[in-house]
Amino acid sequence: MRIAGVDGCRAGWIAGIATLGSDAPPELSVFPHWPALAAALGSFAVVAVDMPIGLPERIDGSGRGPEQAVRPLLGARQSSVFSIPARAAVEAADYGEACRLAAAQSQPPRKVSQQGFHLFPRIRELDAWLRAHPQLADRVFETHPELAFRTLRGAPLLHPKKIRGAINPDGMAERRSLLLGAGLPVETLLARPPRGAGADDQLDALAALVVARHIAAGRGRPFPDPPGRDSHGLPVAIWSFRAARDATEETPMPALPLNRSEIDRAAELIAGHVRVTPVMRPGAGSFGLDRSVSLKLECLQHAGSFKTRGAFYNLLSRTVPQAGVAAASGGNHGAAVAYAAGRRGVKATIFVPEIASPAKIEAIRRFGAEVRIGGAQYAEAQAACDAFVAETGALKIHPFGELATVTGQGTLAREWQAQEPELDTVLVAAGGGGLVSGIAAWFAGTPVKVVAVEPEGSRALHAALAAGRAVDVPVASVAADSLGARNVGDLVHAICREAVERVVLVEDAAITRAQRLLWRDCRLAVEPGGAAALAALVDGAYVPAPDERVGVLVCGANVDLAALVALAG
């Protein structure tokens, strides 16, 4: 079945059309009239359109109920939501008559803007088609692109799409980034718009397509809820989607130290500081697999890994003393703390073990932090960091044993679910477990299974779940610089014992093979820890059911390029 996102444009209507279950990029076309668009779609599941549906006979307040419900969510972008007048005014062909009828049928009396009046022919065209096809009316949903973008970002947008009628490049870039994060192909986002449509119209149609995809998956969210009906039975609501299970649903939830509402708050706080990273579907045949998998490319995050989320949440939610912050890290956490501290103007001291890769140490220094070698393994670096904190009063940012860190990492799962609402299982690499516990806390109580992946030679989480408590393990793995924690600690164990479906182990040879495949098939330069989750699929450590929809987290890109070249060769 087909779905579409539609927006009005100079030449009529621009539509982004996709087929449910297909990895093919959406088709972009312009149609002069709505009936032509409907004929081209044929049988369809959902159409989301940026155009008012459902016209009341009278308006009380600042517009229809949907406009009044949506505006407070948009911050400075509230003005993008037009006040649609009563039906009689929309049906008037003369501007003066439309203003007279709008004022007569609204309280307080309101006239019609010139910009709104220019929309009336398309509103009438859509309204007439829906009334002539009542059997299809419940498959066509009014949406608003700024609400869709706000939902994707988790907060109001930073930049307007236009300034004084001219395209704002920063606003367009912000919206393209969000659509890329939602899984739309970069070639589609950068394509020249079809004749008769503008680049902004194209992005709005693609935002509507994202909403249509979520509605088709049962994740639609109407404003107001439930929708009203006009005198012709047409729905009166603006639709977006839920990135999360609604708080009123009574799905049993395990008792965890972290819940979704806390992750929601973290996402709001770090929005604008971290990137919305994209998802990719390379297609069946990639990596030698007989199925298509969804890759979440967190390797494209600031500082090269997911760790930036937790670093920013620590800095933004906790009091930072004059001595600054300190962290112990195999590299990625240190780079993330250094990056976040640099952006916030905070002093950072990072303790690294001798096994840390030169590429990661260079990144930490490049971001402006002081680097100290703290022993042969991660545990020794952590001990040196603890001594420094006790001496100086610096704020310690633990890579996985601090609730703020785990909460920040959980925002990745919130974002991922908004991009890929139909996944059954996600595969996530585990070292200290801060990432997988944050993700598991988000998905707890939902049908999505979280499977942790660890190297054979670095299995702290596997050992903890087997022992029923956090225990020390020896560490010897090609991925030890990022997945080399000796003990996951009590916080990670408490979350994962309740919310992680299981842990699978992969050999180092499978990890390096996954690295090569990510480079060969996707040209992704990924470190061993970043490739570990894919390794579980390519070596058979995790075997999905035939119809299971699997997501794989590619979590780190801080790889020594010389080592990768040698590996790929």
Q: Express each pLDDT in 43-86 by its tens digit.
A: 899 999 999 998 888 888 767 878 888 888 887 665 567 778 88
Per-residue model confidence (pLDDT) at position 250: 40
Per-residue model confidence (pLDDT) at position 77: 60
Q: How many CA atoms lie within 13 A of 64 on its CB side?
A: 25
Sheet holding 370-373, edge to edge: 370-373, 348-352, 325-328, 395-396
Cβ atoms of residues 450 and 438 within 8 Å: no
Residue whose entry in the numeric block shows the structure tokens 């001990």: 383
Q: Please, which pLDDT band fits residue 243 given cuts at 50, 70 and 90?
A: low
440-445 mean pLDDT: 92
Q: Is the pLDDT of residue 252 over 70?
A: no
337-364 mean pLDDT: 90
- Cα separation of 317 and 118, whole Å? 47
- Cα separation of 453 and 429, whole Å? 5
Q: Express each pLDDT in 111-125 by its tens digit.
A: 888 878 888 999 999
Tokens of 288: 């030698």
Q: Is the pLDDT of residue 331 over 90?
A: no
CA distances from 535 to 194, 300, 370, 376, 543 (A): 41, 19, 34, 27, 11
Tokens of 70: 């949506």
229-249 mean pLDDT: 74
